Amino acid sequence: MKSEQVYSTKSFNLLKLSVILVFIGRAYQHLFWDAPVRAFFWDENLIKPLIENLFNVEWQTYVTSVTLDLFLDNLVVGFGLLYSLCFLAVIFYKPSKKVLKYLILVGSIGLVFLAFLLMKERFYQFAQFFEYSLQFAIPVIFVFSYKGWVYNNLILILKVLVAIVFVAHGLYAVGYYPVPGYFLGMVINIFGFSEEVSKTFLLVAGVLDFVVSILIFIPKTAKIALLYAFVWGTLTALARVVAGLSVDFFWESIHLNLFQTIYRLPHGLIPLYLFFRMKNEKLNEF
């Protein structure tokens, strides 16, 4: 199959849409809200030796610098502009357009750095990094999906990424890592459960995350497991908006939480794409 044909078929558009949503969601976040860049640039153990020894600037002077604060604000906006260009690049992408390919790859590197920052902010809880693995990997998969090895192993690659995301999410839900307060808050706000019932709900959901991560690799159970992953991945993405919705401040609450839903929607769309690929039973076609 010619590379240009790969990017123009209908089912492949689910993967394309997923990449677009990741970049739109992150652009939205960076342009209107914030990103944890200060978790890196204000890390005394990591940055202080560089600042004091290489630049001969005292640490206190550095961290209280108005210039640094302005630089970090502009850096966040800069990443937002990068991700904005990236989602446009995905829309118009063809393998023959090298500039668009490199732009998308740079955007993916930015997403890896963001995942690292989010992990660092959580005291290096590795599951936090891997929870975003699907988001930073699918742009790379998208631009190389017509290449021999990626093309021939696309189903397996995406299944592995889906499994990693669900396992990472499950580790928080079952309490291996401290259950995030916003996990409990979302369950309580949406369902009206007590805190104890909410913890039990999350425990069950976490166990199911682990189970699904195994079942998607078993031929007889893969399709039903992928359907569950589609439903659950989509619901957990939408929960960000629903849980934070305020009747009195409707549009403000939508604006506050919408970006989190947008960049998480691929957690449901990629399993749906895999379901259709397996249902068609033509793994050599898109």
Determine the Cα–Cα distance for residues 26 and 263; give it in Å rounded to an integer. Answer: 7
Look at residue 151 in the predicted model and tell me its pLDDT: 84
Residue 22: domain span = 3-280
Provide the pLDDT for residue 217: 97
Contact 33, 39 (CB under 8 A): no
Domain membership flag for residue 243: yes
* Secondary structure letter of residue 116 according to DSSP: H
Please report the pLDDT score of residue 191 as a whole number: 93
Quick one: tokens of 115? 């995942």
Domain membership flag for residue 103: yes
Domain contains 111: yes
Structural domain includes residue 84: yes
Rounded to whole angstroms, the Cα distance separating 133 from 148 reads 22
Q: Which residues contact 45 (CB under 8 A, 6 or more apart)?
A: none
Q: How far apart are CA 163 and CA 274, in angstroms?
A: 12
Residue 100 lies in a domain: yes
CB count within 10 Å of CB 37 equals 18
Q: Is residue 2 predicted with pLDDT exceeding 90?
A: no
Q: How confident is the model at residue 284 (pLDDT cuts 50, 70, 90)?
A: very low
According to the model, what pLDDT value does residue 283 have? 43
In a domain, 285, yes or no: no
pLDDT of 7 higher than 60: no
Instruction: State the pLDDT at residue 6.
Output: 55
Give the residue-averaged pLDDT of 160-167: 98
Residue 280 has pLDDT above 80, yes or no: no
* 59 lies in some domain: yes
- For residue 29, pLDDT over 70 is answered with yes
Provide the pLDDT for residue 286. 37
Q: How far apart are CA 31 and CA 25, in angstroms?
A: 10
Number of domains in the chain: 1
Picking from 26-30, 51-55, 86-90, which range would have the lowest pLDDT averaged per residue?
A: 51-55
From the list 147, 4, 27, 12, the residue with the least C-alpha distance to 86 is: 27
Q: Is residue 286 part of a domain?
A: no
pLDDT of residue 12: 82
pLDDT > 90: percent of the chain = 85
Mean pLDDT, range 11-17, rounded to an integer: 88
Report, as an integer, the average pLDDT of 230-249: 94
Q: What is the pLDDT of residues 122-163, one digit of tens each?
A: 999 999 999 999 999 999 999 998 888 888 899 999 999 999
